[in-house]
Amino acid sequence: MKSRFSLMLIFLLLMLSFFTCHFSTSMAIGGAPEATLEFWMDENQTAFVTVTIAFFKSGYNLTDWGTVVRNVSDFYAIPQIDGSGGDIGIPMFYELVHNYSLGQLDEGVYTFTLLHDDPLHTLWENMVFEIGFPADINDDGKVDIRDIAIVALAFGTHNPDPDYNPDADIYYDGKVDIKDIAFTAMHFGE
């Protein structure tokens, strides 16, 4: 009785994985583009994000990648995907790669957001990356109670308050809040 139940469970799991695989494959064949983001730095410490958009050609052309706007700690990449008419044929797999230069960034934690919205598809990908060793605020090579104290002292301040300390603003969003304390605490002892 027990082994029959186990067999049943295995069968159900197999069915579930089959449907999950089948579903994701048919999404791609249906033409919904998929984006992947990769962060890297060159020898001059310039930060880049490589955006790869993969899609099956079903009347799609990526003609304009738009611009990246730096909004304190967030970068928004807004690719424009233009329809190119009813191009019905054998589905072809396309991949478009674009490098966004983010320039030389101060030490901190940043978020890169890719957003594309059209009547058919929404592409939304988020990536968090770190520059330097931001939890070590006093730059003495370790994260300890001194670093926590610096963030605690600046807690609740906003740029341009006189007490605002950009080094304590690890998420670099113009305010020192619980996110910055939590990040420092998470790296405590490193």
Binding residues (CB under 5 A) for Ca ion: these are 136, 138, 140, 147
Nearer to Ca ion, 147 or 167 (CB): 147
Nearer to Ca ion, 32 or 148 (CB): 148
| Nearest CA among 178, 180, 161, 159 for reference residue 169 | 180
Query: Where would I find the beta strands (DSSP E) of the chain?
Result: 34-41, 47-56, 60-64, 68-71, 74-77, 80-83, 93-103, 108-117, 122-131
Give the integer Cα–Cα distance in Å for 95 and 117: 18
45 conformational bin, left if phi > 0, alpha if psi -120 to 50, beta if neither: left
Give yes or no for a contact between 121 and 32, defined as CB atoms under 8 angstroms apart: yes
Nearer to Ca ion, 136 or 167 (CB): 136
Q: C-beta of 152: minimal distance to Ca ion in Å?
A: 14
Q: C-beta of 143: minimal distance to Ca ion in Å?
A: 6
Q: C-beta of 118: minimal distance to Ca ion in Å?
A: 47
Neighbours of 137 (CB within 10 A): 23
Q: C-beta of 47: minimal distance to Ca ion in Å?
A: 23
DSSP 145-159: HHHHHHHHHHTT-BT
Q: C-beta of 133: minimal distance to Ca ion in Å?
A: 9
Give yes or no for a contact between 67 and 73, defined as CB atoms under 8 angstroms apart: no
